[in-house]
Structure 1
């Protein structure tokens, strides 16, 4: 990841850019669920981390992860199309891994569109394994592949 790129906790003023990138990179072809209002609710949720990757004020990527006592659920992770292959996704994942481990949580789970082979490959590269299919997960439009990563042993 380039040195000028910064990963930090998101701020309320990041909500519009996060929602727009979610719409573009993740929610295309689906009803828009991650609106700026929903992103702001996640920012206020004590069990959720919203992080962003910025370079010179431009949002290049973000991730939203929800935590409970035993596992973390990676709700969204996206990198702008023009910024892919710069290790931004890996930087976001490393930040989330460190936070999850520090919290003593043993498992991270995520769902990816069955058709999104690039995302599934990214998660496999980061130690996730596919554990099942969830039929109609995405608004009854598309199936999801459920994946998990065990952080202990």
Structure 2
């Protein structure tokens, strides 16, 4: 059975009901897609939590070396890491009972995505959260 992304109504609900997004692999380099996407999501009012070892902050937000180090609730994990690293990220999300994971455009790991779904998580894979936000909600 192939992985399929949720339909637009579920995607929109996820975007509207998630406030705090932990971004795994958020780069401090403004030229990187993770930085650009996250800066837009921050501007849309989301609480962006950078998860990136060896940096103190990104986009003016305190950074954490791992998901486990992030204090407080996480509504959604947005992944900007190589497909091979998604398995460990899914393991962390399942252990932490994070309700949703968004695996960015160009990153495909079907076994990890299916495992996350089977654990009860909402899973989006191979899509850009910013593009879907603009398409489903707009700039307001």
Q: Same fold (TM over 0.5)?
A: no
User: Which TM class, normalised by the smaller chain length?
Assistant: 0.3 to 0.5
TM-score normalized with structure 2 length: 0.34
TM-score normalised according to structure 1 size: 0.33
Specify which structure has the bigger relative contact order, considering alpha-carbon pairs within 8 angstroms and separated by 6 or more residues: 2
